[in-house]
Amino acid sequence: MQRRDFLATTVTAAASIPLANAALAGVSNASQDTHPSQLQPIARKGNIHHAVSKWCFGGMPLDQFCARCKLMGIEGIDLLDEKDWATPLAHGMVCSLGNGPTSIGDGMNRLENHDRVVAECERMLPIAAANKVPNLMLFSGNRRGMPDDVGLANCAIGLKRVMPIAEKHGVTILMELLNSRVDHGDYMCDRTPWGVELVKQVGSDRFKLLYDIYHMQIMEGDVIRTIRNNHQYFGHYHTAGNPGRNEIDATQELNYPPICEAIVATGFKGFLAQEFIPRRDPMTSLRESIDICDV
């Protein structure tokens, strides 16, 4: 399912789950109605800049969500629309990844999209910079019969037009690696080598890949070796458990502590964002996922 399609079907269910304030704040005697301002934030190790994708927790107002996340030691909120970029700033956080002017299915591999995308980037990137948004998302789009080499060349043509704007405003453009086997059938940027070649062809420090660990576990596996060999092309990371895209705990096949240790060992200074669908109290699941990744 597309992210926003999923959000539309889960917002009611997520809103009905009670908040576990005591669990998320690490204070066992906090009452359920304790205001976040009265709770002490969790001190993190500082090796990883933690973030989270808001769409997975759609039932909670963004302002309230930011307050809860701040207590957990989370520094960024991923995949917010332009209208919401300023909200994390009020909580001493940032929108760590802003939604750009493409969709998963319709993106940079279509030449006919380039004029519109470039014009929108000219408008959006100054706003992103003003709101301290470090990254903006542009997707490859689906193949729809297009050969991968043609799509790569088309993406490079369009991204090279965007790079001067991104470089001027100090915002990095990210393209996400997604699986085309389970969640996003026909998506083009579905393998690390394809994405790495695109980064090389674009040739700008302001264009990198979003390495989604869940998606690339489905497509390729060998996650730690891939990170070690290609980390210079990765500007952002996403997590989720596999199979199921749920919590990143011991019930699934990805072992996140050594994965996060491998990321830290590369000298990575960007964000690692949780992007899983919680199966239980969402704030408890989120708190535990940050604990797991805080190596």
114-141: pLDDT as tens digits: 999 999 999 999 999 999 999 999 999 9
Average pLDDT, the chain: 90
Rounded to an integer, what distance in angstroms lies between the CA atom of residue 168 and that of residue 122? 10
Give the pLDDT confidence of 252-261 residue by residue, as tens digits: 999 999 999 9
Averaged pLDDT, 242-271: 96
The token duo for 266 is: 């590369």
* Rounded average pLDDT over 40-62: 94
User: Measured between alpha carbons, how far is 29 from 142 in angstroms, rounded to an integer?
Assistant: 50
- In 3D space, the residue among 128, 137, 139 whose CA is nearest the CA of residue 85 turns out to be 128
Does the reported pTM lie above 0.75? yes
Taking only the tens place, the pLDDT of each residue in 201-212 is 999 999 999 999
Comparing 8-12, 86-90, 159-163, which segment has the lowest mean pLDDT? Answer: 8-12
| Residue 36 vs residues 46, 183, 253: alpha-carbon distances, Å | 22, 35, 34
Is 90 exceeded by the pLDDT of residue 240?
Answer: yes
Residue 195 corresponds to which tokens in the numbers above?
């994405």
Whether 288 is catalytic is no
Average pLDDT of 223-245?
98
Give the mean model confidence (pLDDT) for residues 35-63: 88
Q: Which of 285, 185, 188 is nearest to 245 (CA)?
A: 285
| 275 is a catalytic site residue | yes
pLDDT of residue 41: 86
82, 176, 247, 288: the catalytic one is 176
- Band the pLDDT of 79: cuts 50, 70, 90: very high
Q: What band does 14 get if pLDDT is binned at 50, 70 and 90?
A: very low
Coil, helix or strand at residue 133: coil
CA of 41: how far to CAs of 24, 36, 69, 84, in Å?
9, 9, 9, 23
Domain boundary assignment for the chain: 3-20+35-287
Per-residue model confidence (pLDDT) at position 66: 98
**Catalytic choice (82, 247, 275, 288):** 275
Which pLDDT score, from 0 to 100, does residue 34 have? 54
pLDDT for 29 beyond 60: no
Burial of 284 from C-beta contacts in 10 A (0-12 / 13-18 / 19+): middle
* Cβ contacts of 221 within 8 Å, gap of 6 or more: none
CATH 2.60.40.10 given to domain 3-20+35-287: no
What is Dmax (Cα atoms) for the chain? 59
Cβ contact 195:209 at 8 Å: yes
